């Protein structure tokens, strides 16, 4: 079973920035994200990991600038990263972990 990859847009990034940080801070948040030069997928990973905290946003942006894959793994595949990583795992565990990670990401993205 392959891990799903979110297909997201700049509109999604703007929406989540406003949702999580409010209209007053959204432009500042978007300016910080524009420094990362990452795709909308990477920018959403940064927003998710920041968890509505402007200071953490800056830290995560720096992490993503060093290696965007670290941000993607932590945001999109947290359980897989913790429990499986690069080791072999039974298919039943893989399926459960991948489904769990995808569910938590979609719930975060779709949260009102």
- pTM comes to 0.91
| Domain-located, residue 4 | no
| Domain-located, residue 54 | yes
The series of mean pLDDT values per 10 residues for the chain, 112 residues long, is 92 98 96 88 98 96 94 96 90 94 97 88
What confidence score (pLDDT) does residue 109 get?
96
What confidence score (pLDDT) does residue 86 get?
85
Q: Smallest Cα–Cα separation from 5: which of 63, 38, 45, 62?
A: 45
Name the packing angle between helices 54-66 and 40-50 (round to 10°). Answer: 140
What confidence score (pLDDT) does residue 64 get?
94
| Domain-located, residue 103 | yes
Domain that holds residue 16: 10-110
What confidence score (pLDDT) does residue 35 get?
86
Q: Smallest Cα–Cα separation from 60: which of 81, 77, 43, 39?
A: 43
| Domain-located, residue 5 | no
| Domain-located, residue 2 | no
Number of structural domains, the chain? 1
């Amino acid at each position: 079973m392959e891990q799903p990859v979110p297909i997201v847009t700049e509109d999604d990034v703007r929406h989540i920035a406003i949702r999580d940080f409010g209209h007053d801070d959204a432009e500042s948040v978007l300016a910080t994200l524009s420094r990362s030069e990452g795709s909308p997928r990477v920018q959403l990973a940064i927003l998710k990991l920041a968890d509505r905290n402007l200071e953490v946003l800056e830290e995560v942006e720096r992490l993503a600038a060093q290696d965007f894959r670290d941000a993607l793994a932590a945001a999109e595949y947290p359980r897989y990263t913790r429990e499986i990583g690069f080791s072999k795992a039974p298919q039943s565990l893989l399926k459960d972990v991948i489904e769990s990670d995808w569910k938590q990401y979609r719930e975060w993205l779709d949260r009102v």
